A and B are shown apart, each in its own frame.
Chain A
Amino acid sequence: GAVVSQHPSWVICKSGTSVKIECRSLDFQATTMFWYRQFPKQSLMLMATSNEGSKATYEQGVEKDKFLINHASLTLSTLTVTSAHPEDSSFYICSAPDGAREQYFGPGTRLTVT
């Protein structure tokens, strides 16, 4: 099956700094990618849809100025958490659809803000 990678797999940053997470589709092109957030023992919450060549679409309640998304190419989307705070600590997962019917998920990035 198709492979989606994320980098880094875990990151620790200080409060007030920004951190960038990359999501890559390794063997297919994705005009759309999705970013999810997952709190411990909870479900995945869709944060935004990353669109290659246009602005990301954010879900209700997600601050677009805090979670910056850039879909730089057909194989790369980045999520930048700006001015991070401890409450932003979470597990962030991206996914990319390969065609119209199936999504492939990255391994996730564990963000800890101290």
Chain B
Amino acid sequence: AQSVAQPEDQVNVAEGNPLTVKCTYSVSGNPYLFWYVQYPNRGLQFLLKYITGDNLVKGSYGFEAEFNKSQTSFHLKKPSALVSDSALYFCAVRDGLTGGGNKLTFGTGTQLKVEL
């Protein structure tokens, strides 16, 4: 079985400061990892993914994430937060070994609040 944990329900950060949204995962095989963002009453927007290759993945809107196999983590980061980054962020995992029928398992989400 695959699972994702997002330990923080909410993260508050001042605009201009760096932000980190934490994610840890568990899969049987090789993980396919994703970050999505959701604005109120909207669907999910893709931010970035890790399939293979460099552990540091760069994505949309200046976000990046670092895959750490030993810690089974895939934390989302941004060097300088913007108020417009305030949204709900979801980490998701798929088991690359079994394919899992493309099934994604989502974390519980982290509400990011960026304040002036």
Contact = CB atoms under 8 A, between A and B. Distances in A.
Interface size band for A? 20 to 34
A105 B102 CA distance: 13
Interface size band for B? 20 to 34
Contacts of B32: 101
Contact of B90 (A43, A49, A95, A97): A43
Interface string A45-80: 010010000000000000000000000000000000
B99 A1 contact: no
7 contacts: A43-B109, A44-B106, A46-B105, A49-B101, A95-B44, A108-B43, A110-B41
Interface of A: 1, 6, 32, 34, 41-44, 46, 49, 91, 93, 95, 97, 100-108, 110
Interface of B: 32, 36, 41-46, 49, 51, 90, 99, 101-109, 111
